[in-house]
Structure formats: C-alpha cells, structure tokens
Amino acid sequence: MATGKLRIGVLGAGAWARAAHIPGWLRDPRCDVAVICDLKRELADDAVRQFGAGESSADWEAVVSRRDLDVIDIATPSHTHYPLAVAAVEAGKHVLCEKPVAYEFQDTWTLARRAGAKGLLTKLGFTFRYSPGVQYAKSLIDEGFVGRPLVFNGFEQNSQWLDPQVPLRQVDHTADQAVLQTSSLEGYGAPIIDIGMWWVGAGWCGPLVT
C-alpha cells in the first residue's frame, strides 16, 4: 500500500468484471485498480481503455506474483477460480473470488484456513447479501424479531424463466449431457446456500473439515 490505497489486480475482463467488479473498485476512493488481466489481451486492453484505470496484462501468473499489489480479484470462468485463488494466497495476496472457489468444498475450506493462517482476508462474490431485502431480513433476525431460525427454505426466481422461448443462461448447452452438470446450483444456488447458512448459522460445518 505504498500510495496509502489498496492496489488491486483484477483477473478476467469479461462481462461480470466489467459490470460489477471493476466499477465497484473504482467507486471506492481507498482502492486503485492497478492491473486488469485477461488471457485475451485485447479484452484487458479494452477494459483499461473503458475504465481509464490500471495497466493491462495477459499473464495472470506475473500479476499474482507482483509485489506492489494487495488484492487479487478473480472474475474468471468458474473452473479457473481454484488454481488462481491458490496462487494468489500463496503469493500473500488478499483475495476476492467469484463463486464457486472450488468444486470440492473441502478445497475451499482448506484454502480459507491457509489464507487465515497467513493473515490474509478473503471474500466471495455473494452479491445477494447486499440487496436491501436480504439485509433487512438479516437485521430482523439479529434483533430477535423472528426468534431463532432453525430451518431455511430458499428458492430462486429469475426473469429468465418467464419466457419459455429464452434458454436458461445458467445451463451450458454445449456441456456433455452424460456428465452431471451443476448449472443452477453453481449459479444462483450458491448465494441461496450462502444466505441460508448466514441466517440460520453454519457452525456445523467445522467438524466436517479435516
């Protein structure tokens, strides 16, 4: 933090990085977007131009190992999150990672513990935690208004399903149909599970992790 600001390296210059991550960092005067990196160099260049921030890179390993960055922000496709997050934690960086971190929950917990042991902060892209309705419900729980919640029933409702002619974007239509696809569970399922654990409590998760 030589400048007194957090210096951020953003991995991925795709749709979500541009819609949410980069604008979010830029709105916070405590942060500097120092690098935007995408394997497709032209996307990184384009994002740097679009946001007028940072320098562009196509080499995520070089970005992660830079000594002048405090935070690595991972907004790449889901299957890449885990190796990138491991590399970032091992390089001593705080990490904001899109969900899912990994496809095995033990990997996520192990990495979270590793980050904690190194004094690093980590956070997931659980956007729905910050919607006003969800925040209000949490405040009612905290105030004791609804007593102690023991059961959480969550369902996802999405405008994609209102028109049967519109294909669900969370389904990978090119995926091998012989292999179980996580689709919805990986999409909005993740924040629903997160909200349920946040509201009802996740104390039972600890003993499962070895």
Residues 66-85: x/- map of binding to ligand NAD (CB under 6 A)?
---------xxxx-x---x-
Does residue 17 belong to the site contacting ligand NAD (CB under 6 A)? Answer: yes
Does residue 37 belong to the site contacting ligand NAD (CB under 6 A)? Answer: yes
Q: Which of 69, 79, 84, 86 minimizes the C-alpha distance to 34?
A: 69
Pairwise CA distance, residues 20 & 174, whole Å: 26
Indicate the helix (H) or strand (E) that contains 74: strand 71-74
Q: What is the CA radius of gyration of the chain?
A: 19
Q: How far is the CB of 145 from ligand NAD (least distance, A)?
A: 28
- Sequence-distant contacts of 133-136: CB under 8 A, at least 24 apart: 134/195
Residues 87-116: x/- map of binding to ligand NAD (CB under 6 A)?
-----------xx-----------------
Binding to ligand NAD (CB under 6 A) within 122-141 occurs at: 125, 127
Does residue 24 belong to the site contacting ligand NAD (CB under 6 A)? Answer: no
Binding ligand NAD (rule: CB under 6 A), the pick from 35, 36, 43, 101 is 43
Binding ligand NAD (rule: CB under 6 A), the pick from 1, 28, 40, 166 is 40
Looking only at the bridges linking them, the beta strands covering 6-11 and 31-37 are parallel
Residue whose structure tokens are 């729905």: 128
List all residues 6 or more positions away from 192 whose beta carbon is below 8 Å from its beta carbon: 128, 154, 155, 156
Residues that bind ligand NAD (CB under 6 A): 11-17, 37-40, 43, 60, 75-78, 80, 84, 98-99, 125, 127
